Structure 1
Amino acid sequence: MPLATRVAEELLRRIQAGDWPLGHRLPGETTLAAQLGVGRSTVREAVRELAGKGVLAARQGAGVYVTAVDVDQSWDDVLRLAEVTLVIEARTAVESEAAYLAAQRRTPADIRLLRQTLAAREGARGVIEDYVDTDTAFHRAVLAAAHNSVLLELFDTFVPRIRQAMIAMLRANPAPAESDDAGHAGLIEAIVAHDAELARTLSRAHLSELSANFAAR
């Protein structure tokens, strides 16, 4: 994600947090640049981005003012979808290897957690946000079963970046329940059976399908 877009998100977050209420003037470029640790040109670009979404308005000779404290959700979705393919590529590298290791290293406690998180995932389909969170818990359980703290940390860095994009994708294109659940159940059985190659293949196939669904949006 471009630096200016990240700065725009931070400005929007601060606006929504009440740092600059509706109708108030933002600090000048120099002040904002110092606060955010970026250059003035980056601040200027971020302001233009928010102005294009109706959140800010520049008044000649008077500064930049807050004209809205909210933005259409689709804009947030677009920001995240712009990088989601790259995130899924990184997830594939991490999770397919973790699945391979999990099949070699899993313990009875790991298997219990995998089955519990899969059941929770299957029971959460009625609410998309809950479903995404339980799906994340399942995949994190696979990482935990690999018993590699570095891989687990890497996975945790992906979660905030992909959650909203996953929600947006499922609202527009719900995943087929039966085939999706079967794929996750199959991954558990491969891990239970110590079939490391199959576990890696199933993990990669699932994320490839996820990437294709995003690309089709």
Structure 2
Amino acid sequence: MHDPVSNLPAAAGSHVPATGPTVRRVVEQLVAHIRQGDLAPGSRLPAERLLARDLGVARNTLREALDQLERQGLIDRRLGAGTFVTGAPEPGLARRTGPLHLHVMRGILEPEIARLAIMHMPQAGLDQLAAQLDLMSDRASPADFAQAEQDFLSILAESSANPLLLACYRLVLQARREAASGVMLDRHLTSERRDRIRAGHGALLQAIELRDMAEAQAVVQQMLLDEQALFTQGD
């Protein structure tokens, strides 16, 4: 049977430890094949060993890329059955989505996500949040910092135990991801801005660990106000 993935060009840095740029490159390659229909919804991806070989990367790099695709809702890992494509991302969403649209949707969804995280987040999820917070360091590139924040938010949404809310929030994250070009990231993710984002997510994580619903929602509202101020200033 024809395997479209085997026709992908190998990523640079073959068989090296996982790095942010390499993982992003693998994600972009797989997303492109999903969008083009080479990997159709419902189709099963090749085994990790074969897929890593075809992409020219180490298996730990591939696993990180698949983690990101799963958080974006593009693949579904089924224990004992394999990894399946669930659908293609909606193209051009960012072109039809302005900062106000994003802010309104985040204001609707994120306080509820925080509330549900208080109710449902297991210790394993708290550990994953802490790991993403560690990745939001001063040493991270703007793109890696933004990815770590997206993963932090995705993990929160996954804990909601509400598949419809998760699907809606994934569209919000997709629009944020498409709108954030390299130039915009460099301009917006200043050292001061990173410190505020990291502090906000740290405070949110602490509130969830303490199961303090009022504090968690207050932290979310403050982070949304901070972002609204950033747009208002036109930075």
Normalising TM by the smaller chain, what interval? 0.5 to 0.7
Give the number of the structure whose alpha-carbon radius of gyration is greater: 1
What letter corresponds to residue 139 of structure 1 in structure 2? L
What letter corresponds to residue 122 of structure 1 in structure 2? S
Is 1:103 the equivalent of 2:118?
yes
TM-score by length of 1: 0.57
2:221 corresponds to which residue? 204
Is 1:155 the equivalent of 2:155?
no
Query: Which residues of structure 1 form unaligned runs of 5+?
Result: 1-16, 18-75
Distance 1:101 1:147, change over 3 A: same
Among all aligned residue pairs of Structure 1 and Structure 2, give the percentage whose two residues are the same amino acid. 22
Given the alignment, which residue of 173, 181, 195 partners 1:178? Answer: 195
Q: CA deviation at 1:148?
A: 1.8
Higher relative contact order (CA 8 A, sep 6+): 1
Q: Distance in 2 between matches of 1:205 and 1:113?
A: 23
What letter corresponds to residue 214 of structure 2 in structure 1? E
Q: CA deviation at 1:164?
A: 4.0
Q: Distance in 1 between matches of 2:177 and 2:135?
A: 17
Q: Distance in 1 between matches of 2:169 and 2:220?
A: 14
Is 1:83 the equivalent of 2:106?
no
What letter corresponds to residue 128 of structure 1 in structure 2? P
Is 1:119 the equivalent of 2:134?
yes
- Deviation by residue 1:22-81 (Cα, 9 ceiling, x = unmatched): xxxxxxxxxxxxxxxxxxxxxxxxxxxxxxxxxxxxxxxxxxxxxxxxxxxxxx9x957x
Residue pair 1:118, 1:184 contacting (<8 A) in 2 also: yes
- Deviation by residue 1:143-169 (Cα, 9 ceiling, x = unmatched): 122222221111111122122434454
Is 1:137 the equivalent of 2:124?
no
Q: Distance in 2 between matches of 1:116 and 1:173?
A: 23
Q: CA deviation at 1:208?
A: 2.1
Q: CA deviation at 1:207?
A: 2.0
Q: Name the SS for the 1:122 alignment partner.
A: coil
Q: CA deviation at 1:170?
A: 3.3
What letter corresponds to residue 96 of structure 1 in structure 2? P
Residue pair 2:143, 2:185 contacting (<8 A) in 1 also: no
Q: Name the SS for the 2:172 alignment partner.
A: helix
Aligned Cα root-mean-square deviation (Å): 2.6
Q: Name the SS for the 1:110 alignment partner.
A: helix
Query: Which residues of structure 2 form unaligned runs of 5+?
Result: 1-35, 37-91
1:190 corresponds to which residue? 207
